[in-house]
Amino acid sequence: MTGTFVQLSHADWLSILPEVALASAGCLILLLEAFAPSLRRWFATLALAGVAASLYLLMAAPAGTTFDGRFETSPLTWLMGLFLGGSAAVAILVAKPYLERIRDEKGEFYALLLWGHLGVSLMIRGLDLLIIFIGLEILSLSFYVLAAYFRGIEASSEAGLKYFLTGAFASAFTLYGIVLLFGASGGTRIAGLAQEGLAGRPAVILGVLLLLVGFGFKMSLAPFHAWAPDVYQGMPTPAVLYLSIAPKGASVLVLFRVLAAVFQPGLPDRLHAAVAALAVLSMTLGNVVALAQRDAKRLLAYSGIAHMGYVTIALAVFGREALAAAIVYFFAYLVSNAGAFAAVSALYRDESKPHPVAMLAGEGRRARFAAAVFALCLFSLAGIPATAGFIGKFFIFKAALERGLYALAIIGVLNSLVSIGYYLKVVYILYMRDPIEPEGPPPLAFADGLALSICAAGIFAFGIFPAALWRLARSAAATLPLPGP
Amino acid sequence: MIGTIPLSEVLIVSGALFCIGLCGALLRRNAIQIFLSIELMMNSANLAILGYGASLGTREGQIVVFFVIAIAAAEAAVGLAIFVSLFRHTETIDVNRVNLLKW
Amino acid sequence: MIALWVIPVIPLAGFVLNGLLGTRLGKSFVSAVGVGSAGLATLAAYSRLIPYLSSGGAVVIEPYGSWIVAGSLSVDLSFRLDPLSALMLSFVTFVAFLIHVYSVGYMHHDETDAGYARYFAYLNLFLFAMLTLVLAESFLLMFVGWEGVGLCSYLLVGYYYDREYAAAAGKKAFVVNRIGDFGFLLGMFGLFTTFGSLSYGEVFGKAAANPAAYQPALTLICLCLFVGAVGKSAQVPLYVWLPDAMAGPTPVSALIHAATMVTAGVYMVTRCNVLFRLAPEAMAVVAGIGAFTAIFAGTIAVAQNDIKKVLAYSTVSQLGYMFLACGVGAYVAGMFHVMTHAFFKACLFLGSGSVIHAMGGEQDMRKMGGLRSKLPVTFWTFLLAALAISGIPPLAGFFSKDAILAGAFEAGGLHLLWAVGLFTAGLTAFYMFRLVSLTFYGSFRGTPEQEHHLHESPPSMTLPLIVLAVLSVIGGWVGLPAVLGENANVFARFLAPVLPSLKGVEEHAALPHATEWLLMGVSVIVAAFGLLLAWRWYVKGEGRVPARIAASSPGVYALIADKFRIDELYDSLFVKPFYWLARTLWKVVDVLLIDGILNAGAFLVELTGDLLRFLQTGNVRNYALTFLLGLVALLLVVAGWI
Amino acid sequence: MGIERLLAEHLLSVLVFLPTAGAILLLLLPRSATGVARVAALAVATLECVLSLPLWWHFDVALRGFQFRESAAWIPPLGISYLIGIDGISLLLILLTTILTPVSLLFSLSHVEKEVRGFSIAFLILETGVIGTLVALDLALFYVFWEVMLVPMYFIIGIWGGARRIYAAMKFFLFTMAGSLLMFLAILYVAIRHHAATGVWSFALEDLYRLTFTGTTAVVLFAAFALAFAIKVPVFPLHTWLPDAHTEAPTAGSIILAGILLKLGVYGYLRFALPLFPGTALRYAPWLGVLGVIGVIYGALLAFAQHDMKRLVAYSSVSHLGLVVIGVGAFTTISLQGSILQMVNHGLSTGALFLLVGVLYERRHTREISAYGGVAGIVPVTAALFLIATLSSIGLPGLNGFVGEFLVLLGTWTSPHRWWAVAAATGVILSAIYMLTLVQRVFWNPVTHEENRNLPEIRWSELVAVSVLVVLMVWIGVRPNDVLDRLRVSVDALQESVTAKQLVEAQNGAGLPGGAR
Amino acid sequence: MDRLVFEVAAAIAIVFAALMVLSRNPVRSVLSLVVSFFALAGCYVLLFSPFIAVIQVIVYAGAILVLFLFVLMLLNVGPERPEKTGRPIQTLLSGIAIVLFAGFLLSTLRHSGSAVPRALAAEPNVLGKPDALARELFGGYLLHFEAVSVLLLAALVGAFVLARRDRGSRA
């Protein structure tokens, strides 16, 4: 079997088409950039079409594993693909007016975004640590570049440097983790990890831990979070939007996959303690430090760190319900966080300067729609009921309580209380302070409005009618061999 | 045993190289040197996987290394481009002095 | 036959009319509605009372439905007509009507339309509340009237709301009354848990049927109820509001603070005589407080120079008398004094109102004098009422006071209560005639301008004076003592059904006639002595003797003139500490402690955030280091080292 | 579906969502149409009020359990359903809400200038939240509405409030959240236990009532519920958010906050904490009662110390709600009915007080008591109305406040905790002191500030708003049975279920000390 | 024999790696690393991976590190100057962390060698044959291969985006 060249089956082809669509869309945009720059205003549409096509192809692909069992098409990948596609779509929508504002709408931005998206897509679908690693690197490289995208701005270059150095550093650990697991299981397939007697070996545990920190880094999970605030601050907002959502979801899924394969009946106590400690640390540090933030994007970065703490509770619970809860959480996080970043993008006039929260004073009355959605997103992030954020927390805490992790749940809700402090701070600055900026934000672009509307609709849809999402998430979670009902 | 070389020896060498790289990554201030250290860490991983692969008698290790080298090359290209780009602003790649974004 | 509810509802309607429309429709409308409704109520009341006289003390209960039903509590809206309420009804409506009439003259000229309407609205409201209090068939409904009269007292005392002392006096009246109401409430709670009901019929019926079963709760209940009475009827230690209440218009003082409302306490104790008689300890307290109040307030009255203040302390003192009567079991005597007191004290107050009216608002007796000739009607009516209160036979006060003293004498206890009562009688005569002397005799001591304006009051004011003076004279004849004829005491016979005999409570045997004659004689002598002494000192001696006495012991005199500085004592004992406590709790507990702790907590979290923020040094090497440290920590956890 | 059928079969749903529909409607209006927004919001609120009246007529006073029930699946996998219904307790509070909301909007007609549309929307959404909270019979549904209330209130305080509005709004939100987040966990846990016990997911209240909890679990769960409700009430020492929030909120916000939101704490306690954990609740009831007693006295003392009118009224709420808490803690039929009635009474009297303070404030733009004095002669109608509200607040017989107060005190007296009644009855004295001092210093005394001489009299819209409340005060004062009748069966049922379940708990939880009171 | 050669090569690799880290001069660092990578390539050969060894030399030691040298020349970065403040805490913490981590890593690695499952005992010399490798690459690993092509493309475009002069200069 291994001896022959290129034996792609029909199923292989069908399964890879979504990624092909993304890659082609990126290439097409790049080509047009080079040969027909006048078509630039269609790039966003094209990119969106690429994302949509990829989603359609993902849905159309028959379920099963392809490429010699290294690539998955399943309800799980479809649902997570939807999650990623959603992030990408909103990011593209936000990117268009953003790039127009800085008069730098170039194809490269979209192309890199699409390729990065492709990388994440590989991460969620890969059943092979190597393909996951490659996906991770595609993502990373694209976003190293996007971080430093504003060559004319020092902060952006600095964000690029920091992201690159820390990212490469973390990749080295991830790689070493993969190596250790390879050594133990004799291959890179995740399924290979599910061998008898593997779970207890020190090398395997070390490998898993290295993967945990490697992907924890991508999740911006404390204490592997340090890059996130700086990078978010310096990076173009639409790119942050994507980076702050999609890779995190993919990373959690990868961790679930690996842990599910290695530890069939459940996490060993020690590892469980370690994961729980990460959750607590991330929630607490993220929330507490966010209180002290003055810059909108940094604030959202710390908020993201805290949210990853909540998701990590699901990892600590470790079960089918927990994975489903995490998926629901990510959908909630998607609409809330994407909306928040979209609002940030729409509310600040000068992209090259920092984004102090104080500058938003009184914008609730000038940029009504963006501010209203921003506030809605913040309430959702804070977990106020009738929003998606609440539903996310609901399932996470339910899973934790069902597993008897009371302390985690209590620390979680207490952290929510702290988080309300800074979310509401933004809200009151928006609505209860008088404007300090002589000029309001730029008029709301159509694409921004669309992105915000989508997020607001999502927040309410998931917040009020979560049943469908929960069912999907549960059936998706059944794909993994996790313990649970 | 791989031939006559014990696997554990290969792994120890790999581990040592990884740790040396780690020292560099943590203690050097020049971004390029840090990156070099990281490259060394990745190479140490390569060594380990080749050791494992040889020990297991599978070609998969080599394939992994093949891809890792490709990735490293790509990373180097992007990384160095970033350094250059930053250098245009700061005239330095001493990371101690690159701290516009903080707190 | 008119239903009982009509009687209070008529003034209520007057209140609503005057309250809503009075300001717009002018003074004549207001007078018509105000006086008319009081008159109608009186008519309605008498249309029930006259047939009732011949009913032989039957208890009529008119239920109008249920008011509050909750759990085992069920309170009906029903009115009760029995001899006691009939008695109260008779003089309350009548005196109130007279005072309404008087007010037309008194208030007419110096008030705006709005103020005039307000005044009559309040007065009507008061009548409504008072009638409710009197007619109620349950403790709770009585409490409605009880608080209602308190409210009206508050409103009318504070009628001149733009004068700070009046506003403060109104508030003080309400608050002090509330202290009493606190006791009343607790008493009601006790009644409910003990008897399972708040209706008079049930409570008294059960208590009378099984007198021994309810001790010791009964004593406590009675004491609590008595606290209510102490507040409402201005007894020591809660009397302090009544002198201040003189800040209200004088007719109000006459009606509320002399004739009707303040006697509600006596009415209540009498109403509960079944309970009190079963609780001898409580009775003793009632008697003691009453006696002490009588002598205490009488003493203060001696040294007052404000004409209304003298009358106010006199009222307090007389109320003490009435409680003394109740305390010694002479309920009939107590109620008798309530009635006669209503006549002569109302007359006195209205007379003083006439004087003040004539003096242009002046109330200081030192600036009066010789008004006898200028205000003849006022003088003569005032004199009669003064004689009546002093206990000079055969005026009304003599009989009621004598009945009380007889009761006190019977009560035993070394006749101490009687002695106190007797001394107070002398005091009363003294200070009343001091007042009469200073006001009506001698020469005028006011400004020429005041002198120029002196004039007798209009008929609307003098007419009520005359009627009340007549009543002060003849009002006592319904209750002649036994020595004057076996069945002469119509009053006692009428009230007898209210005082059923109780198992285990022995009734006092009637005094031997000789003793009774002796007591009467002694009391007349003492009263005459007081009267003559005042006459001698103030009319003949023009006040030199008292001035000498005052000069010889300035401390004592000042103490009495300053009303024993009880207000100041209360101020430093209760008011100031209360204010201090309130402020301290606010600033220390609320602001410093609770908010302080919470804000400190919030601040600490924020501070932690602010400090941790600096971990984010901006130096990427530190980021790598934290990464590695995190990894190492995880390894340590997994390895079981942490 | 015809309108009639909609109203007949889904009256509660209509009541819950009509305000939201109105809010959405307002959202579609142009921002500049402030006049229309004002009137439209008032119209919606009034319509809501009218629609809520049939609840009063058609409420079956003899029926046990919940009436006007509706149910629909909501999140079926977790057994969470849209399950609503009312009993006598919620009936009263719903009507209070539907009455106070138009009253506040009516008052605001002439006083809210800034962002009228937003204000109206916030108010209507708030009404949905409140009514939803009151009708929800599913714990998850309840929690959603419970929290949804906070958001509009946060904006109402924060945007349209006084000088320290942001501090007050944050404090309000954080305090309330602090309690409810733990309750959220407790709700989840209870539902999980139900699932574990029966294999079926359900958040329906009546299903969860069947569970019994004993020992530490019960204590912790009860504490979580009780804390959330105690903060809302608020019970001393968790009350400090209240003076700030009430003082800084705009008048209409204060009315709703004091008139309705506070009651939801007690309501929640009666509906959830008590029946779910009866044994524990009754075991710790003495603590509750003691805190209530402290609240009564402490609130009154602090009210006395205030020099800001609204703050004074706010602290008076602490005192009054303390009384309600005592009644609940005593847990006798009389005291419970009294407490519930007293909630309504407090809504009316404090609502009126805040409204009238608002009338003065809108004219003089200060709430300092010392800035007034003697204005009774200048604004006699306002003064008279204020006096009536004061009298209602201090429990003058004949007005509503007395009946509730009396029932609570009497009921408490008949419970084993007689001294609570004694201590709380001092509130009768204290309330007279601080309220009459307020009246004296604002309306009586000589006029000391010349600018007060031209104080305009109350407007018609304001007068109508207050009059509605005054009429209700008198009505309840004279005919309290109309209200009490509707409570009777509900309170009986509550007591019986609690007692019955307490027995079950005592049997199950062998060795549990003091399972019964 | 193999073992000895391996050990010598490994020693060279380690020594030069250490030199790379210790050297203040970045150019010297790069050169040290070149040596180290050459030595590693030697090790690879001994681990039956001649093809990888070749790539290592060509791509890594050749292309990548030369790229580094170019950039160093371009930027004209001198040796690190010692800092005034030595940041002792950071150094100390780094030291502790590295020592602890190294301890964990090395102790784990030392014992994991024996734990490797003995899979097919393929002929060592066949293992490293390039054509077999290629077959596998374009067979089971085609997906990876294509993915890496995207990666390289992205890197290419990225480097281009970053290295481009200012916005205006292109027009």
Give the tens place of pLDDT for each residue, C237-286: 999 999 999 999 999 999 998 889 999 999 999 999 999 999 989 999 99
Distance CA(A451)–CA(A458), nearest Å, equals: 11
Segment A239-270, tens digit of pLDDT = 999 999 999 999 999 999 999 999 988 899 99
Looking at residue E122, its pLDDT comes to 52
C-beta atoms of A226 and C616 within 8 A: yes
Q: Is the pLDDT at D60 greater than 70, yes or no? A: yes
- Give the distance from residue C624's alpha carbon to the nearest chain A alpha carbon, in angstroms: 6
The CA distance from D465 to the nearest CA of chain A, in Å, is 28
Check residue D1 and give its pLDDT.
Answer: 62
The position carrying tokens 């009297």 is D349
Q: Could you tell me which residues come within 8 angstroms of residue B3 by beta carbon, excluding any fewer than 6 positions away?
A: B54, E2, E3, E46, E48, E124
- Band the pLDDT of A93: cuts 50, 70, 90: very high
CB under 8 A, 24+ apart: contacts of C470-474 = C471/C343, C471/C347, C471/C396, C472/C340, C472/C343, C472/C344, C472/C347, C472/C384, C472/C385, C472/C388, C472/C395, C472/C396, C472/C397, C473/C384, C473/C388, C473/C395, C473/C396, C474/C396
For residue B90, report the phi and psi dihedrals to the nearest 5 degrees.
-100, -15
Beta-carbon separation of C619 and B103 below 8 A: no
- Please write the tens of the pLDDT for every residue from A346-366: 998 888 888 999 999 988 888
Q: What is the pLDDT of residue A11?
A: 87
Identity of the residue numbered D329: G
What is the count of residue pairs from B and C with beta carbons less than 8 Å apart? Answer: 30
pLDDT of residue E121: 47
Q: What is the DSSP string of C555-587?
A: HHHHHHHTGGGHHHHHIIIIIHHHHHHHHHIII
CB within 8 Å: E154 and A67: no
User: Which residues in chain A (142-181) have CB-CB distances under 8 A to chain E?
Assistant: 142, 144-145, 148-149, 151-152, 160, 180
Q: Is the pLDDT reported for residue B43 higher than 70?
A: yes
Residue D515 has pLDDT above 50, yes or no: no
Residue from A395, A401, A411, A474 whose CB has the most chain D CBs within 10 Å, to mutate = A401
Search chain B and give the residue with CA nearest C611.
B103
In this complex, how many residue pairs, one in chain B and one in chain E, have their CB atoms less than 8 Å apart? 248
Q: Is the pLDDT of residue B62 over 50?
A: yes
Residue C129 has pLDDT above 80, yes or no: yes
Given a cut of 80, is residue E125 above it in pLDDT?
no
Q: Which of C625, C635, C636 sits opposite E93 (nearest CB)?
A: C625
Confidence of residue E113 (pLDDT cuts 50, 70, 90): low
For chain D, list the contacting chains (3+ Cβ pairs, <8 Å).
A, C
- The answer, yes or no, to whether residue E3 has pLDDT greater than 90, is no
Which of the 8 DSSP states describes residue E23?
-
Say how far apart CA A325 and CA D165 lie, in whole Å.
38
Residue E111's pLDDT is what?
Answer: 79
| Chain A adjacent subunits, 3+ CB pairs under 8 A | B, C, D, E
How many CA atoms lie within 13 Å of C12's alpha carbon, on the beta-carbon side? 14
pLDDT digits (tens, 9 = 90+) for E32-90: 999 999 999 999 988 888 899 999 999 888 888 888 998 888 888 777 777 766 678 88
pLDDT tens readout for residues C494-549: 888 888 888 777 766 677 888 888 888 999 999 999 999 998 888 887 778 888 88
Q: What is the mean pLDDT of chain A?
A: 92
Spatial distance between the Cα atoms of C545 and C565, rounded to a whole number of angstroms:
24
**Nearest CA of chain B to the CA of C614: how many Å?**
5
The secondary structure of residue B2, as a DSSP letter, is B
CA atoms of A400 and A397, how far apart (whole Å): 5
| 3+ Cβ–Cβ pairs closer than 8 Å linking E and A | yes
Q: Which of E20, E121, E152 sits opposite B36 (nearest CB)?
A: E20
Tell me whether residues C621 and B102 touch, CB distance under 8 A: no
**What residue of A is the nearest CA neighbor of E143?**
A67
Signed CA dihedral, D463, D465, D471, D477: sign only = negative
Quote the pLDDT of residue B3: 67
Residue D167 predicted with pLDDT over 70: yes
Q: Which residues of E touch B3 (CB under 8 A)?
A: 2-3, 46, 48, 124
Q: Is the pLDDT of residue B30 over 80?
A: yes
E contact test, residue of C620, C623, C634, C635 with most E CBs within 10 A:
C635
> How far separated are the first and last CA of chain B, in Å rounded?
51
Tell me if chain A has a CB within 8 Å of the CB of B47.
no
Average pLDDT (D472-476) is 95
Tens-digit pLDDT profile for residues A44-85: 999 999 999 999 999 999 999 988 889 999 999 999 999 999
Alpha-carbon distance of C547 to C538, in angstroms, equals 10
What does the pLDDT average to over A41-45? 92
Q: Is C607 on the interface with D (CB under 8 A)?
A: no
- Confidence band, pLDDT 50/70/90 cuts, at residue D42: very high
- pLDDT at site E120: 46
pLDDT value at D512 more than 80: no
Provide mean pLDDT across the span C118-146: 94
Find chain A residues with C-beta within 8 A of C598's C-beta.
Answer: none
How confident is the model at residue E124, as a pLDDT? 61
A248 reaches B (C-beta below 8 A): no
Mean pLDDT throughout D96-122? 90
pLDDT digits (tens, 9 = 90+) for C618-633: 888 889 999 999 999 9
- Choosing among C113, C161, C588, which should be mutated to test the D contact, i.e. which has the most D CBs within 10 A? C161
Sorting pLDDT into bands at 50, 70 and 90, what band is A2? Answer: very low
pLDDT value at residue C366? 87
Q: Give the model's pLDDT for residue A485.
A: 67
Nearest chain D residue (CA) to A372: D118
For an interface test with E, the pick among C621, C628, C634 (most E C-beta atoms closer than 10 Å) comes out as: C628
Tokens of C575: 């008011």
Structure confidence at residue A365 (pLDDT): 86
Does residue E166 surpass a pLDDT of 50? yes
pLDDT above 90 as % of chain A? 77
Q: What confidence category does residue A415 fall into, taking pLDDT thresholds of 50, 70 and 90? A: very high
Per the CB < 8 Å rule, is D445 touching C158?
A: no
* E51–chain B Cβ distance below 8 A for any pair: yes
C201-236 as b/e, with b when 16 or more CB fall inside 10 Å? Answer: eebbebbbeebeebeeebbbbbbbbbbbbbbbbbbb
- In chain A, the residue whose alpha carbon lies closest to the alpha carbon of C607 is A292
The whole-number average pLDDT for the span C1-19 is 93
pLDDT band with cut points at 50, 70 and 90 for residue E171: very low
Chain A contact for C216 (CB, 8 A cutoff): no
- pLDDT in the model for residue A417: 93
| Rounded average pLDDT over A463-483 | 92
ipTM score of the complex? 0.93
pLDDT in tens, D24-40: 999 888 877 888 888 99
Measured between CA atoms, the residue of chain B closest to residue C622 is B26
Enumerate the residues of chain B whose CB falls inside 8 A of the CB of residue C620.
Answer: 95, 98
User: How many alpha carbons fall within 13 Å on the CB side of residue A252?
Assistant: 35
- Asked if A478 reaches chain C (Cβ–Cβ under 8 Å), the answer is no
Interface check for B98 against chain A (CB to CB < 8 A): the answer is yes
Check CB contact under 8 Å for A166 and C629: no
A 154-183: CB under 8 A from B = 154-155, 157-162, 164-165, 168-169, 171-172, 175-176, 178-180, 182-183
Q: For residue D374, list its beta bridge partners.
A: none
Cβ pair A385:D147 closer than 8 A: yes
Percentage of chain D modeled with pLDDT above 70: 98
pLDDT reading at D513 higher than 50: no
Check if A191 contacts D (Cβ < 8 Å): no
Beta bridge partners of D86: D67
- Inspect the interface and report whether the beta carbons of E161 and A108 lie closer than 8 Å: yes
pLDDT bracket for residue D502 (50, 70, 90) = confident
Alpha carbon distance C625, B95 (integer Å) = 13
- pLDDT value for D291: 95
Q: What is the pLDDT of residues D278-299, one digit of tens each?
A: 989 999 999 999 999 999 999 9
Minimal-distance CA residue of chain A relative to C618: A230
Q: Do B75 and A154 touch (CB under 8 A)?
A: no
Q: Decide if E2 and B56 are in contact by the 8 Å CB cutoff.
A: no
| E chain contacts of residue A148, beta-carbon cutoff 8 Å | 162
pLDDT in tens, C203-228: 999 998 888 888 888 999 999 999 99
- The predicted pLDDT at position E123 comes to 61
User: In the predicted model, what is the mean pLDDT of chain C?
Assistant: 90
Specify the pLDDT at position E95: 92
Which residues of chain A have a CB within 8 Å of the CB of D159?
431-432
CB-CB under 8 Å, C626 with A226:
yes
CA distances from A197 to C639, D332, E117 (A): 18, 64, 11
pLDDT in tens, C427-476: 999 999 999 999 998 888 888 888 888 888 888 889 999 999 999 999 88
Give the one of D74, D146, D166 whose C-beta lies nearest to A428's C-beta: D166
How close C613 comes to chain B (CA, Å)? 5
